[in-house]
Amino acid sequence: GESVGLHLPTLSVQEGDNSIINCAYSNSASDYFIWYKQESGKGPQFIIDIRSNMDKRQGQRVTVLLNKTVKHLSLQIAATQPGDSAVYFCAENMKGSGANSKLTFGKGITLSVRP
Amino acid sequence: DAGVIQSPRHEVTEMGQEVTLRCKPISGHNSLFWYRQTMMRGLELLIYFNNNVPIDDSGMPEDRFSAKMPNASFSTLKIQPSEPRDSAVYFCASSTVGGRTEAFFGQGTRLTVV
């Protein structure tokens, strides 16, 4: 079946550098994508989202890029800080009938920030 | 708003016992999701409700699992009988517009079945 997946299980970056976390999706019917951050012992927290009619969206220190041609999603974090250390998930919302749809998550990738 | 509230935060039970996990979604949200998280399988959607009605329960692993949403402010996930392989963190999340906006997650219930 179709699913959301992540290219790399872990990513280690130097504090102050930019981080890029990648995600591949395979469901062409998905029209809404979200990046979540999960810290130890907590539930996933919303970071940024993007709809399929856009290819880029910027937030505070974060940018999400969507390439529908190759079904690829990425999260860019500028000037990575120790507080960014967490597990990051991409999620896709698959279009369903009417207002019904469901959010499906990738496996997650651990971002580790070196001081 | 206090966010999505789950209880208990931790549950340790013996194999064969019934376990009930509880969730209070954010007021005004009309969609509620139950997820299970394990190291091996990541975050798996078990079931979701729109306006208190179960829409998709294809993720529920087997008949031992059941979920209810008797009203807009409360949902339960029940496992009967529980097995060691059910050990995981169970998250409840809620959102508006049938999940077409971001879902807000609770802190989760860590279930250990011994």
What pLDDT is recorded for position B97? 65
**B82 contacts B20 by C-beta, under 8 angstroms:** no
Check A100 against B97: CB less than 8 A apart. no
What pLDDT shows up at residue A26? 77
Residue B13 has pLDDT above 80, yes or no: yes
- Residues sharing a CB contact under 8 Å with residue B45, sequence separation 6 or more, in sequence order: A102, A103, A104, A105, B33, B34, B35, B56, B59
- What residue in A sits closest to B48 (Cα-Cα)? A102
Instruction: Tell me if B102 and A46 make a contact (CB, 8 A cut-off).
Output: yes
- Is A93 near chain B, with CB under 8 Å? yes
Q: Which residue of A has its CA nearest to B91?
A: A43
Q: Which of A101, A107, A109, A110 to mutate to test the interface with B (most CBs of B within 10 A)?
A: A101
Task: Mark yes or no for CB contact B98/A43 under 8 Å.
Answer: no
Residue at token pair 């996990």: B21
Which residue, among A27, A47, A41, A49, has the nearest Cα to A88 in the 3D structure?
A47
Are B43 and A108 within 8 A, CB to CB?
yes
**What is the distance in angstroms between the Cα of B80 and the nearest Cα belonging to chain A?**
25
Residue-level pLDDT at B64: 96
How many beta-carbon pairs below 8 A join chains A and B? 64
Yes or no, beta carbons of A43 and B107 under 8 Å apart:
yes
Beta bridge partners of A65: A56, A74
- Indicate left, alpha or beta for B76 from its phi (over 0: left) and psi (-120 to 50: alpha): beta
In DSSP notation, A40-55 reads TTS--EEEEEEETT-S
Q: What is the pLDDT of residue B41?
A: 82
DSSP B10-37: EEEE-TT--EEEEEEPPTT--EEEEEEE
Asked whether the beta carbons of residue B48 and residue A102 sit closer than 8 angstroms, the reply is yes
Q: Out of A49, A98, A107, whose CB is closest to B102?
A: A49
Question: What one-letter code names the amino acid at A82?
Answer: P
Q: Distance between the two ends of chain B, CA-based, in angstroms? A: 36
Interface contact B98-A100, CB threshold 8 A: yes
Strand-pair partners of A12? A112
- Within 8 A of B104 by CB-CB distance, chain A residues are 46
**Which range, of A42-56, A82-96, B15-29, B79-93, averages the lowest pLDDT?**
A82-96
Per-residue pLDDT, averaged over B52-77, amounts to 94
Residue B55 has pLDDT above 70, yes or no: yes
pLDDT band at B65 (very low <50, low <70, confident <90, very high): very high
Question: Given this model, what pLDDT does residue B98 score?
Answer: 54
Section B48-74 average pLDDT: 93
Q: Give chain A's residues under pLDDT 70.
A: 1-8, 95-101
- When the pLDDT of each residue in chain B is averaged and rounded to a whole number, the result is 92
Query: Which residue, among A35, A42, A32, A44, has the nearest Cα to A95 in the 3D structure?
Result: A32
Number of H helices, E strands in chain B: 0, 11
Task: Give residue A97's pLDDT.
Answer: 47
